[in-house]
Amino acid sequence: MVLLTLLAIVTLAIVRQRSLFGVVVLTIIYSFLMASVLIVLDAVDVAMTEASVGAGVSTVLLLATLHLIKTTEMRPVRTQLLPMFVVLGTGTVLVWGTLVLPPFGIADTPIHKHVAPRYLADSIKETNVPNVVTAVLADYRGYDTLGETTVIFTAGIGVMLLLRGARRRGRADSEKEPL
Amino acid sequence: MSLDLILRVGTKLILPFVLLFALYVQFHGDFGPGGGFQAGVITAGMVILLAITFGLDAAQRIAPPVVVQRMVPLGVLIYAGTGVAGLLMGRNYLDYSVLSHDPAHGHELGIFLVEAGVLITVAGTMTAVFYAFVERGR
């Protein structure tokens, strides 16, 4: 509860903050709070990813982006009524959706009755891997992880093409200008 | 130059341990939290830390851009190739049972290969994207 309150406070601070450098620093705090929440939920693998990706690499990339662009956010040019309405509507629908979810921590919900017991019981016998999370990610759900790896591959190629392609064009332009 | 002496010495001291921790996360992922994705990010983090403290050239001496860019597709190929091995031996795609005589050992080996593929792609992509940003900013 304390962590969730802190998350809400940091989110409000991010929304209020107009200096993008401040926003980046606040998102680091947000990521570490999120990692703490995930540890409380016993999802250490996800917490580790959140701490290393959310607070580590994405911060570096955001700062690198700030190095390329201006560091203050522009004042909004249009009225904010429609976005406000959309956000409030989506929030209401999401809260309404959580009302019919089973209470947190209940063992006999459909998601715990489907394949999870089989994974917990047989994964050590079938894969020799004690960490069920690794067994599920890399073996039982191998297709999904292959897809994720391909997504990272595609994203990396896309960023490299964008940044390097633009640089080459910029150089060609500056070479033309003196003539 | 003299002001960042502590930073430079400190970075030099922790760099090997960061890499060691990445390898621990990679190879201990079977037993505890972690795996290829986290280990790849930590490996990239080591290169980024080196680049921030000692400059891009020092980082690119250790992790040359050519190697890093080759790593991006190599990992996906290792992952997909592990799946193709199952196809060639007459089983389903990504069925690791065929990799060893004992199916359980085959699965263990398959998970190891697949995680290695994820490590290579993630570490390569993160480092390459960082290089692209920094070179753009010059």
pLDDT at residue A172, rounded to an integer = 56
Chain-chain contact of B38 with A49 (C-beta, under 8 angstroms): yes
Q: Which ranges of chain A have pLDDT less than 70?
A: 76, 165-179
Residues near B89 by beta carbon (within 8 Å), at least 6 away in sequence = B98
Determine the residue of chain A that is closest to B114 in CA distance.
A138
d(CA B81, CA B37): 18
In terms of Cα–Cα distance, which of A26, A23, A43, A25 is closest to A35? Answer: A43
Give pLDDT, residue A177: 47
Residue of B nearest to A143 (CA): B94
Distances (CA, A) of A126 to A129, B94, B98, B118: 8, 15, 13, 22
Assigned domain for A142 exists: no
Distance from CA of A153 to the nearest CA of B (A): 6
pLDDT value for A179: 41
How many separate domains does chain A show? 1
Containing H/E element for A40? Answer: helix A20-40
Does residue A21 fall inside a structural domain?
yes
pLDDT of residue A150: 92
Q: Cα separation of A60 and B46, whole Å?
A: 12
B129 vs A61, A68, A138: nearest CB? A61
Residue B113 distance to chain A (closest CA, Å): 10
pLDDT at A166: 61
- Looking at residue A102, its amino acid is P
Distance CA B63, CA B134 (A): 15
Selecting from A47, A134, A163 the residue whose C-beta is nearest the C-beta of B30 gives: A134
Q: Identify which of A47, A128, A148 has the shortest CB distance to residue B104.
A: A128
How big is the CA angle at A56 (ends A47 and B138), to the nearest 5 degrees?
160
CATH number (domain holding residue A46): 1.20.120.1200
Model confidence pLDDT, tens digit, residues B115-135: 899 999 999 999 999 988 888
Q: Which residues pair with A72 in a beta bridge?
A: A19
Task: Please compute, for residue B4, the number of CA atoms within 13 A of its CA located in the half-sphere on the CB side.
Answer: 8
Looking at residue B98, its pLDDT comes to 74
CB contact under 8 A, A156 and B118: no
Q: Which of residues 5-34 of A touch B (CB under 8 A)?
A: none
Residues 6 or more apart in contact with residue B118 via CB below 8 angstroms: A145, A149, B35, B36, B37, B40, B75, B79
Looking at the domain assignment, is residue A49 inside a domain?
yes
Give the DSSP H/E element, type plus range, for residue A58. Answer: helix A58-68
Closest chain B C-alpha to A145 CA, distance in angstroms: 8
- Through-space distance between the first and last CA atoms of chain B, rounded to whole angstroms: 20
Q: For B53-65, what is each residue's pLDDT tens digit?
A: 888 888 888 889 8
Cβ contact, residue pair A139, B96, below 8 Å:
yes
Residue A67 lies in a domain: yes
pLDDT of residue B37 exceeding 90: no
- Non-local CB neighbours of B124 within 8 Å, separated by 6+ positions: A156, B40, B68, B69, B70, B71, B72, B74, B75
Mean pLDDT (chain B) is 86
Distance CA B70, CA A66 (A): 28
Measured CA to CA, the distance from residue A8 to residue A138 in angstroms comes to 34
The pTM of this model reads 0.81
* Amino acid symbol at A96: W
Task: Tell me what pLDDT residue A113 has.
Answer: 78
**According to the model, what pLDDT value does residue A178 have?**
45
Span B80-104, average pLDDT? 80
Longest dimension (CA), chain B: 64
Is A131 touching B (CB cutoff 8 A)? yes
For residues B107 and B97, the answer to whether their CB atoms sit within 8 Å is yes
- Give the three-class secondary structure for A19: strand
pLDDT, residue A93, reads 95
Residues of B in contact with A167 (CB under 8 A): 135-136
Domain coverage including residue A25:
1-73
Q: Which residue has the higher pLDDT, B51 or B92?
A: B51
Which residue of B41, B104, B111 is in closest CB contact with A52? B41
Q: How far apart are CA A161 and CA B56, in angstroms?
A: 20
Most A-contacting residue of B24, B38, B84 (CB-CB within 10 A), to test interface: B38
